[in-house]
Amino acid sequence: MNLYRETKWLRFMVTEKKPKTVVLDIRNRSHELLGKIKWNGPWRQYVYYNLGIDAQFNDGCLKDIADVLSSLNKEHRGK
């Protein structure tokens, strides 16, 4: 797993590289898996998947996730 980005509370790890997209795990500082970011074909953009776990996020963590989504979508459009 390669680190894509790290924030104060979250780590975004590249877990899979596909020909045109990547899959990221989102983990907390205790290394617990909180969700994934993957390409959604019908929406033509990266989206967050919560994996059905009971996780709470404050506005800062949600902003971090949104920032990573924006970065990935911009990178993808630039290809």
- Number of structural domains (the chain) is 1
What is the pTM (predicted TM-score) of this model?
0.93
Domain holding 70, by residue range, is 2-78
Taking a C-beta distance cutoff of 8 angstroms, is the pair 47, 40 a contact? yes
Taking a C-beta distance cutoff of 8 angstroms, is the pair 38, 48 a contact? no
Average pLDDT over residues 67-72: 98
| Residue 52: predicted pLDDT | 84
Q: Beta strand pairing status for 33-40 and 45-49?
A: antiparallel
| Residue 50: predicted pLDDT | 92
DSSP reduced 3-state for 16: strand
**What pLDDT digit, counting tens, does each position of 18-52 carry?**
999 999 999 999 999 999 999 999 999 999 999 88
| Residue 53: predicted pLDDT | 85
